[in-house]
Structure 1
Amino acid sequence: MLTVLNVAYPFVPVTPDAVGGAEQILSAVQKAAKHAGHRSLVLGCEGSEADGQLFTVPRADGPFTPARLAEVERRYRAEIERIVEEAAVDVVHMHGVDFHAYLPDAPTPVLATLHLPPEWYPPQIFTEKRPHTYFNCVSHSQRQRCPSSEVLLEDVPNGVDLSRFHPSHEDGGYALVLGRICPEKGTHVALDAAHRADVPLLVAGEVFPFPEHLRYFEKEVRPRLDARRRFIGPVGRRGKRRLLARASCVIVPSVVPETSSLVSMEALASGTPVIAFPNGALPEIVAHGRTGFLVRDFTEMVDAIRKARTLTSEDCRATAERFALDTMCGRYLSIYERIARRAPARIRGSRAVTTIEIDDVARLHALETEWDDLWARSPEATVFQRPQWLLPWCTHLLQGRLRVVAIRRGARLIGTAPFFVWNDGGRRVLSLLGAGVSDYADMLVDPEERDAVMRALGDWLDTAGGWDRGLWSELPSGSPLLELTRGRGVTADEQDVCPGLELTGHHSLRDALSSRKWASIRLARSRAERHGGVHFTEATAGTFGALFSRLVELHTARWREHGGGMLADPRVRAFHLDAGPRLMAQGALTLSGVHIGGTLAGVLYTFHDRRASRCYLSGFDAALGDASPGTLAFAHALECAIARGDACLDFLRGGESYKYSWGALDRRRVHRATWDRPCGSNQWPG
């Protein structure tokens, strides 16, 4: 767990519906940090809101003269120094344009997000000499205008909560400008264009008490208002959603290079096209002629306002799916972890190894980001140990109580043992999450901390109460858990074999197979041609459910005499419908269909990890058995594995003869470990 301090611009309150994009991003990130299990702190002015612990300073009154700005910055810096020291902060994340004025003296790692054009910051920030100080941009166009710098990390594009914005069938008959009212936002241009196009325009936003902002509103905006072009001031969450969804278009008339545009993303998520000058990152957001218009001058803006209704809300919403808030937050949380690790131990605080037991599903979900990061550092772990597989298992298949053991060195997660306890005839049995659907099960261990993790888990198993019998299944050879059982009087036996086809050195399907198998594939292809030909498809996020339903139909038909197979259980089907798209989004799963003639004749469910493709489930149409859809599907999977550069095609558990017909050999063996504690004892036997 990290302690993260998000620092806002000191003159604007942080709320989820703040006018400023930086404040909205900060609000989302601090919330995500808390939900991920970190200690989330926020510093802002009075009126701010936070899910984590909130620290506030008095809100400064305008006008904001240079002397007033300097005074506020001095006080802000002192408050940051106090919080960093007293709260033992691991990472400070700064969002204000003036962040350089209140960087803490303490060597705590700092990430400063550049929300504004790089030209608005002092050039010396890019050669900042303060140790452990890093920056990130929010778009590619912004980064291109930054000087080369060793402290500039990868871009983190902004995102919006897509669940909050939806298209509406109501047409309000107005164009909309939404955001801060200031010279660089070009509000006066939109007013003139709406007047020329003879279209009503609503201007929603806030005028902050900066002298140049106040002058701009009085001189350029107010004189252009009339009965049909109205200023309605700041709007809340519901008001903004309604305005965006009912507008005929949203105008973004910014006259400076925008680093991003949350209002454009929110408009598209609401199904509303965007009209904007092609400044900065706006061409990265708006697809000209499909989700809006990128105009070069006033005349083109007038014409675009008139043509806005020719664009569809469906295209706008589909484009908005690229701007998911969860993706943005996950990237920031990953950066926090990385820069905290780079800091010396004296900065990171305690380096003691601690063991925490998690018995609540919500707390386990909060661990997902760093759990997946630990999975990435565990070279022998398979997809079956990923949180995207095990969290849905907890939701749909858990029957018992969580006893997940999380092991940390300081704030860093270095090991997990995903246990649960279930009742077996009055005996409390300790097993591993994923039971019943996983071909491999195990703990996760950071290879650099293996000894520490093994000692910590051994101590937990020696002392933790609440269970009478241990039962671990599907442990691969070399499993840390299997190693931990040795010498403790635990019974361990071989459970099953896992055939696999070695692909190293093979560059084509023909090269990887025997002559006999190659001949059978050619025959299957020839017969498929007589039925109308063969082609293959892969599921997308939108088609996963339909293709999985066909897999269920085919798989259960094959196993009907034996109860319908593993997919007959509706809970198992619900689990796969939850886990599958999550893993597919990570590039860890392919659901592919083989089509013979006009029939979807087979479906193959394959995992990908550690340079291996793992064939998990399949179903084939018996009516087309002469065309061998199974042979065609596995041949296609093998071709794809070779193209991916995989070292192995893993047929997973079970010694069925068809696996060996492909040339597979027993690459892995899985084991079962069992032990019984003496009655009333917390000690292992032996």
Structure 2
Amino acid sequence: MRIAQVASLYEPVPPPRYGGTERIISYLTEELVKAGHEVCLFASGDSKTSSRLYPIIPKALWEDTQRCVNPQVYHVLLLEEVLKHKDQFDIIHFHTDFFHFPIVRRLDVPHLTTPHGRMDFPEYIPFFREFQDIPLSSISHVQRQGLALARWVGTVHHGLPLSLYQLSENPSDYIVFLGRISPEKGVDDALAIARMAGLKLKIAARVGLGDDAYFEKLLPEFKKKNIEYLGEITDKEKNELLGGALALLFPVCWPEPFGLSMIEAMACGTPVIAYPQGSIPEVVDHGITGFIVQNVQEAVNVLSQIHTFNRKQCRGRFEKRFSAQKMAESYISLYQKVIAEKRK
């Protein structure tokens, strides 16, 4: 199959540190190539891939602040480059939100769009009422709640290469928070859990866009004893950090669309302790890959018994549910479905 993967230009594919969407695009692209498909990746020029790369700009926009004055200009160029080569593909897979909708609905080439963010905003209702013909895939079943009018053709959970992270059956004495410093990610509760449990907390996270004031507010907490702020980290550092952790804290207070760091922890055999928000009940198998709790106190109670957790079983469930190969196979099924419907 001839497949185009279209990424936004904010981060390279894959990103050097933070960037869940671009990381998933990379894992999917490489797995499709491995399976024998002809894949082209439309992305920034500093992306690394074994597929054919169409570099729209030399460097990702968030890595090149001088260039990123009006990012819409470069994304229009991205779409134009895709359209120039449209006849080379059996299907075009967009990971670029929705700016391409007015154009692709007029294309003869089959296409699929995967939104990677939350979909519960009120303005999306009139938008998708207009664009009910655009085929979409969700990254969790819960992501599509409230938008039944959109044309969802399937759900594909994120997946990771099995060799990316290794099982660690002998953790150290700390817990970890991984991801983004934003109010909806529950950093405050993670700090409270660590304090009440009497455990060291390591925080490896990027400050969310527009969340500088929130970060400044938390800084005094980060400087306290038993709290270590690491900033952004690489995959290699993440493997060591997650593998050595007693648990990953994921106390989000928003409708999380997926939560990539949860399956990264599972890949190391590290349990996830999370609130039942958004995709969490869909991703975490309670008692096997982690624990779904209602509040800080319940998280503390779980941590008091965390030494009995079966980390090998956790890794096994991860391999069964969240491999990059399974993700790629699921997307191939959706591609075939979309192509068949286009031919009708």
* Cross-structure match for 2:20: 21
Q: Distance in 1 between matches of 2:47 and 2:253?
A: 29
Partner amino acid, structure 2, of 1:170: N
Is 2:114 the counterpart of 1:117? no
Q: 1:46·1:59 contact (CA, 8 Å) conserved in 2?
A: yes
Provide the residue aligned with 1:126 in structure 2: 128
Does the 8 Å CA contact 2:176/2:202 hold for their aligned counterparts? Answer: yes
Question: 1:230 aligns to what?
Answer: 228
Give unmatched runs, 5+ long, in structure 1: 346-686
Root mean square deviation, CA, Å: 2.8
Residue type of the alignment partner of 2:296: F
Instruction: Name the CA distance, whole Å, in 1 between partners of 2:63 and 2:29.
Output: 28
1:17, 1:24 within 8 Å by CA — same for their partners in 2? no
Is the partner of 1:251 in helix, strand or coil?
Answer: strand
Tell me the CA shift for residue 276 of structure 1. Answer: 0.6
| Cα offset, 1:344, TM superposition | 5.8
Over the matched positions of the two proteins, sequence identity in percent amounts to 29
Q: Greater CA deviation, 195-204 or 336-345?
A: 336-345
Contact kept, 8 Å, 1:81 with 1:105, in 2: the verdict is no
- Give 2:281's aligned residue: 283
Superposed counterparts of 1:467-486, under 5 Å: none
**Quick one: distance in 2 between partners of 1:334 and 1:178?**
32
The answer (yes or no) to whether the contact 1:292–1:308 under 8 Å persists in 2 is no
Change (3 A) 1:288 1:333: closer
- d(CA) in 2 for partners of 1:9 and 1:310? 43
Q: Secondary structure at the match of 2:207?
A: coil
Structure 2: give runs of 5+ residues left out of the alignment: none
Cα–Cα, structure 1 residues 128 and 29, in superposed 2: closer, same or farther, change >3 Å? farther
One-letter identity of the residue aligned with 2:337:
R
> Cα distance, 1:263 vs. partner?
1.6
The one-letter code matched in structure 2 to 1:223 is P
Could you tell me how far apart the structure 1 residues matched to 2:301 and 2:188 are? 17
| Kept after mapping to 2: 8 A contact 1:20/1:180 | no
Match of 1:197 in 2: 197
Partner residue of 2:265? 267
Question: How many Å separate the matches in 2 of 1:52 and 1:118?
Answer: 30
Q: Secondary structure at the match of 1:105?
A: helix
TM-score by structure 1 length?
Answer: 0.45
Q: Partner letter of residue 338 of structure 1?
A: K
* Equivalences for residues 365-384 of structure 1 within 5 A: none
TM-score, length-scaled by structure 2: 0.86
Q: Which amino acid aligns with 1:179?
A: G
1: CA distance, partners of 2:82 / 2:71:
17
Residue 271 of structure 1 contacts residue 313 of structure 1 at CA under 8 Å; is this kept in 2? yes
- Are the equivalent residues in 2 in contact too, given 1:159–1:326 (CA < 8 A)? yes
SS of the residue 2:139 aligns to? coil
| Mapped partners of 2:289, 2:86: distance in 1 | 46
CA deviations on 1:23-70 (whole Å, 9 max, x unpaired) are: 222111111232333332223345432221222434335999xxx78x
- TM-superposed CA distance for 1:324, in Å, is 2.3
SS at match of 2:158: coil
Aligned residue in 2 for 1:588: none
Q: Matches of 2:32 and 2:102 in 1, distance apart?
A: 21
Write 1 or 2 for the structure with the bigger share of strand. Answer: 1
Residue 5 of structure 1 corresponds to which residue in structure 2? 4
Deviation digits for residues 206-242 of structure 1, max 9, x if unmatched?
235x2x222222223x221124211112222221111
Count, aligned residues? 333
Stretch moving more, 174-183 or 297-306 = 297-306
Q: Aligned partners of 1:287 and 1:124: how far apart in 2?
A: 35
Q: How does 1:291-310 map to 2 (within 5 A)?
A: 291-310=289-308
4+ runs deviating over 4 angstroms:
61-64
Q: Secondary structure at the match of 1:179?
A: strand
Q: 1:165 to 1:288 in 2, by over 3 A?
A: same
1:494-524 per-position Cα deviation (integer Å, ceiling 9, x unaligned): xxxxxxxxxxxxxxxxxxxxxxxxxxxxxxx
Question: CA 1:291–1:146 in 2, change beyond 3 Å: closer, same or farther?
Answer: same
Q: Which residue of 2 aligns with 1:183?
A: 183
Change (3 A) 1:200 1:331: same
Check the 8 A contact 1:141/1:281 in 2, yes or no: yes
Structure 2 Cα separation of the partners of residues 240 and 272 of structure 1: 12
Q: CA deviation at 1:280?
A: 1.5
Name the counterpart of 1:37.
36
CA offset at residue 203 of structure 1? 0.9
1:233 aligned counterpart, secondary structure? coil
Which residues in structure 2 correspond to 1:227-266 (within 5 Å)? 227-266=225-264
The residue type paired with residue 329 of structure 1 is A
Question: 1:49 and 1:79 mapped to 2: Cα distance?
Answer: 17
- The correspondence of residues 518-597 of structure 1 with structure 2, limited to 5 A, is none
Q: Indicate how the Cα distance of structure 1 residues 219 and 49 shifts in structure 2: closer, same or farther if over 3 A, else same.
A: farther
The answer for the alignment partner of 1:328 in structure 2 is 327
Matching residue's letter, 1:126: F
3-state SS of paired residue (1:135)? strand
